[in-house]
Amino acid sequence: MSTIKTSIARRSFLKSSALAGGGLMLGFSWLASCQTKTEAEILAMPKEWFDINSYLKIGDNGVVTIYTPNPEFGQNVRTSMPMLVAEELDIDWKKVLVEQAPYHPKNFGFQFTGGSRGIMSRWEPLRMAGASARQMLRTAAAAIWEVPVEEITTEGGMLFHEPTNKSAGYGEMASAAVDVPVPTEVKLKDSKDFKIIGHSKKNVDAHNIVTGKTTFGMDYQKEGMLIAMIVHPPAFGMTLKSIEDTQVKTMSGIKDVITIKSYPKDYQKGSFDANAFPEIVAIVGSSTWQVMKAKKQLKVEWQPIAASTETILGFRGDKQTKHIPAGLESTDTHRSQMEALAAKPGKIVRQDGDPRSAFKKAAKIIERTYEAPFLAHNCMEPLNAFAHVTGDKAMIAAPIQIPGFVMPTLAASLGIPVENIDMELTRMGGGFGRKAYGHYVLEAALISQKVNAPVKLIYTREDDMTNGIYRPTYQATYRAALDDNNDLIALHVKAGGIPESPLFANRFPAGALDNYLAEEWSADSNITIGAFRAPRSNFMAGAEQSFLDEVAEAAGKDPIDFRLDLLKRAKENPVGEKNDYDAARYAGVLELVKEKAGWGDNQTGVHRGVSAYFCHNTYAAHILDMTIEDGKPVVQKVCCVIDCGVVVNPDAAINMAEGAITDGVGNAFFGEMTFKNGVPEKNNFHQYRMIRIGEAPKAIEVHFVENDISPTGMGEPPFPPIFGAVANALYKATGKRRYRQPFLGEEHVLG
Amino acid sequence: MAIFNLNINGKKQQVDTDPDTPLLWVLRDHFHLKGTKYGCGIAQCGACTIHVDGVAMRSCSLPISAISEQKIKTIEGLSEAGDHPVQKAWMSHDVPQCGYCQAGQIMSAAALLENNPNPNDTDIDAAMHGNICRCGTYLRIKAAIKTAAKMG
Ligand code: FES
Ligand code: FES
């Protein structure tokens, strides 16, 4: 048991916020594990609720409502975060109701979804919220029963005093508990005593989802709401010149055509304000189809942008200077640009030993270059937001990953103080990093302000796919020096991209080699980029793990043993001090995947690729089995091992790993965005190939390393290494190494 | 604008709209049946799948003028209490991640089972090919369809 200091806010927002009442019902779901009406009716809604702290209230009948603080985009935090509260509250999961908290950082801390940090950052605070409420209930019972508080035990939402044989439900003590001071310290459970954490709980939203009742941002509806759509420049490097809207304004259902500027002059933008098209046109009308039709008719003249320089405030408070070049960029020119930059000396970011002389005396040098294209996020739910700006107040409901980052921009652009902006966090139909960039929320608010009406902004799929914030295009050249004994004596990596470098200089195999050199480079671009599931790692893992596979082969070693030898060195006698991984845990996932997949038991016609990676504080390893059927690669099975510490909701974590693996296979095979004269060459799913059901792995087996380490991320870590596993299996299957993603593209059939 | 008489989830409905309006937007904007989703608008993703006389169709590419007597069924009308075998199987396999594609997936799966009560993997791949799940829940979708088939 560990004792920790509490920092829980009393629940106050119901009184102070305009969201009181109906607004809070957003994302409301019925009893967490009791999802059919008849069962739900067994537990009638309480007559009275008692606010214990900002995360929970208890009904007089013992039902507990837990506010889930972070926005949901499919990672299932609406289930796993309440599980943390419920565990320490010591309540029966059947008595839990889950409600989405609105944006309210004072009550709910940093509300975000990204970086696989949700559970990690909430692990202690949410358990603390549950534990402190339990403590208050015990204190209340002790006072009423006139017994020492230490003698009061709890179980499943009941309080007991054994010596006097007294018991009461939480509902009976809730009204007294409200007046108990919030304890300054609470004890948290030992992991061996967990009854909810580590035990799979069904998705609390499943019933609503399968019956079509869940409200995504796209589904948000308000009385009198108008529909808005934007028209953005057709190419990166272009901006608005003029519009000709007389005809469109006469079209049926069209209320207005306006232009908006997203940022006030000289506004200090943050890194999540990235937006290639700050000046756009908006069409506002009564129904989606009418606006869509008008959008096609609207005549807009565009003009080239001028080159510019901006200072961006990074989210750690650092300032970066960003150059935005003029001109219309193309994939062809990007490639030659990358080739030229890769040929020049890069910026050295890490050097251990004397790599230059090691390469000079090498018996064998292997050099390979890996490349990957821009990727579009393509969340199934296109970007959208609801906004209603009235005078100096604004009400927003949006699918957004990091509401706190768009708030200052909203306030500045609308000219409204932050405290006058209320925001509901709707469920997101996917995010993958894209919905961390809130320009669409800003646009909705500016449109509402200008047309003086509640507005729902909807991006068409085409708008969404061609708006930017892509995963950048990357390149990496790896060189390995082997000596006469086929031992790896030096490694050199030089990586870059447009417009950022993907390199992590201090990751494996740094630390495992006496001679190591890491260089990077980048080139400016006016195509905007943003976080995409496991940023940078999603390229580096594939390149690095493909290269290590090839080096192992050249050295005549088993690819897993080869990696384990390096990790042994990194563990026992690491080179350098900045290595940012734990070599033992890294080796642990490889050893376990080797055992679980039966590495070495080769089956004819089944080609196996192995890959492992560490990112977002979690370790993941895959063994991927591929067959060739009718000339096409088929992923038969992926065996996956993850070390993310304690797993809060195992079945949901497995679901997410399955998704990450499928996503990775899809992007490795098909994912690609290209440009011609600034124009994205794909604008919908007839051009942008997404993995479909018949192309997904036929089986995925997920294992977790069991330990007591505080949980780390799950959404991203299994994604990057799959690119390496696919590449390595493809090599085994076809005899050909793949260096350029997507590995299949339009080439459906292999020779 | 023109008046159209519709039969949606067993209810007679009337709408006054442009004849080229896709059924998807009639359902969402006029009747606030928001379970049917917009994903691409060009019959490429399946998010908008509904049943027209029992056949799975992409409502984003179906102009309202093409509809007269046909019975339209949306996710909201698949079952009264959310207990259609496909819905039950979806819950028991905990299929959804973000959930956005799932109504379309369920409608495609329900239509498949209507025609083929015992589909094999190839049948499932073919029938569900038009439904993209960006979150990658395909394995669970397949497993859930098989479970639903067993429930009959
Ligand atoms: S929205 Fe109809 S198929 Fe995509
Ligand atoms: S569950 Fe997210 S798109 Fe399918």
Q: What is the DSSP string of B8-71?
A: ETTEEEEEEE-TT-BHHHIIIIIS--TTS--S-SSSSS-TTEEEETTEEEEGGG-BGGG-SSPE
Residue A19 pLDDT exceeds 70? no
Residue A316: band (very low, low, confident or very high) from pLDDT cuts 50, 70, 90: confident
Rg (CA), chain A: 28
Question: From the CA of B15, how many Å to the nearest CA of chain A?
Answer: 13
pLDDT at A109: 92
**Using CB atoms, which residue from B1, B126, B135 is nearest to A74?**
B135
Residues of A696-733 as b/e, b for ≥16 C-beta within 10 angstroms?
bbbebbbbbbeeeeebbbbbbbbbbbbbbbbbbbbbbb
Over 50: is that where the pLDDT of A303 sits? Answer: yes
CA distance A30 to A293: 39
pLDDT of the residue at A33 = 43
Query: Does A353 or A317 have the greater pLDDT score?
Result: A353
Does ipTM come in above 0.90? yes
Query: CATH number for the B2-76 domain, one of 3.90.1150.10, 3.40.50.300, 3.10.20.30, 3.40.50.720?
Result: 3.10.20.30
What chain A holds in terms of domains, given with CATH numbers, is 2-210 (3.30.365.10), 224-308+377-466 (3.30.365.10), 336-375+470-734 (3.30.365.10)
Q: Closest Cα of chain B to A515: distance in Å?
A: 40
pLDDT band at A746 (very low <50, low <70, confident <90, very high): low
Residue with tokens 């030229």: A340
Confidence of residue A745 (pLDDT cuts 50, 70, 90): low
CATH 3.10.20.30 occupies which residues in chain B? 2-76
Q: Among 3.40.50.970, 1.10.150.120, 3.60.20.10, 3.90.280.10, what is the CATH number of B85-151?
A: 1.10.150.120
**Tens digits of per-residue pLDDT, A431-486?**
999 999 999 999 999 999 999 999 999 999 999 999 999 999 999 999 999 999 99
> Could you say which ligand is closest to the alpha carbon of residue B138?
2
Mutation pick for ligand 1 pocket among B21, B36, B48 (CB with most ligand atoms within 8 Å): B48
Helix axes B138-151, B85-92, angle to 10 degrees: 130
Determine, for residues A218 and B139 on separate chains, whether the beta-carbon distance falls below 8 Å. Answer: no
Least Cα distance to A578 among A350, A356, A316 occurs for A350
Mean local confidence (pLDDT), A19-27: 29
Residue pair A34/A56 in contact (Cβ under 8 Å)? The answer is no
Any residues with CB less than 8 A from the CB of A220 and at least 6 apart, and which? A386, A397, A426, A456
Tell me how far apart the alpha carbons of residues B58 and B52 are, in angstroms, rounded to a whole number: 9
Nearest to A66 by CA among A113, A33, A17: A33
Q: A68 is written with which tokens? A: 């889930």
Helix (H, G, I), strand (E, B) or coil at B11: strand
Tell whether the model's pLDDT for residue A29 goes beyond 80.
Answer: no
Ligand 1 in reach of B45 Cβ (< 6 A): yes
Q: Percentage of chain A with pLDDT > 70?
A: 93
Residue A115's pLDDT band (cuts 50, 70, 90): confident
Q: Does the pLDDT at position A301 exceed 90? A: yes
- pLDDT tens-place string over residues A81-96: 999 999 999 999 999 9
Q: Cβ contacts (< 8 Å) between A700 and chain B: which residues?
A: 139
- Closest CB to B132: pick one of A219, A380, A697: A380
Q: Is B130 in the pocket of ligand 1 (CB under 6 A)?
A: no
Confidence of residue B39 (pLDDT cuts 50, 70, 90): very high
Question: Under an 8 A CB cutoff, do B94 and A206 touch?
Answer: yes
How far are the Cα atoms of A63, A188, A385, A687 from residue A169, in angstroms, in the given order?
Answer: 10, 21, 42, 59
Tell whether the model's pLDDT for residue A699 goes beyond 70.
Answer: yes
Phi/psi of residue A683, nearest 5 degrees: -130, 0
Instruction: Compare all CA atoms of chain A with the CA of B44 and give the residue at the minimum distance.
Output: A685
Residue B73, CA atoms < 13 Å, CB-side half-sphere: 16
Rounded CA separation A526/A236 (Å): 6
pLDDT higher than threshold 80 for residue A5: no
Quickly state the pLDDT bin for A187 (edges 50, 70, 90). very high
Rg for chain B, CA atoms, rounded: 15
Write down the pLDDT at residue A641.
98
Q: What is the pLDDT of residue A315?
A: 77
Given an 8 Å threshold on Cβ–Cβ distance, is A212 in contact with B36?
A: yes
Answer whether B134 contacts ligand 2 (Cβ < 6 A): yes
Q: Using the predicted structure, report yes or no on whether residue A748 has a pLDDT greater than 50.
A: no
Average pLDDT, chain A: 93
In degrees rounded to 5, what are phi and psi of residue B58?
Answer: -90, 105
Any idea which of A11-20, A170-179, A298-307, B77-86 has the lowest mean pLDDT?
A11-20
Can you tell me the mean pLDDT for A535-545?
98
Find chain B residues with C-beta within 8 A of A652's C-beta: 94
**In the A/B pair of chains, how many CB contacts fall below 8 A?**
197
pLDDT value, residue A214: 96
Instruction: Please report the pLDDT score of residue A17 as a whole number.
Output: 31
Neighbours of A514 (CB within 10 A): 16
Instruction: Output the residue whose Cα is nearest ligand 1's atom 3.
Output: B43
Banded pLDDT at B102 (limits 50, 70, 90): very high
Instruction: Check residue A1 and give its pLDDT.
Output: 58
Give CATH 1.10.150.120 domain extents, chain B. Answer: 85-151
> Given a cut of 60, is residue A32 above it in pLDDT?
no
What letter does residue A22 receive in the DSSP assignment? G
Mutate which of B23, B25, B57, B60 for ligand 1 pocket (most atoms within 8 A of beta carbon): B60
pLDDT at A9: 59
**Does residue A42 have a pLDDT over 50?**
no
Judged by CB atoms closer than 8 Å, whether chains meet at B100 and A287 is answered as: no
For residue range B89-101, list pLDDT tens digits in order: 999 999 999 999 9
Is the CB of B17 less than 8 angstroms away from the CB of A289?
Answer: yes
Distance CA B7, CA B1 (A): 19
Q: How far apart are CA B129 and CA B139, in angstroms?
A: 13
CA distances (Å), origin A573, targets A324, A408, A518, A530: 44, 48, 20, 37
Task: Evaluate if residue A15 carries a pLDDT over 50.
Answer: no
* B135 min Cα distance to partner chain A (Å): 5
- For A659, the closest of B91, B97, B100 (CB atoms) is B97
Q: What is the mean pLDDT of residues A337-343?
A: 97
Task: Provide the percentage of residues in chain A whose pLDDT is more than 90.
Answer: 91
N-to-C CA span, chain A: 61
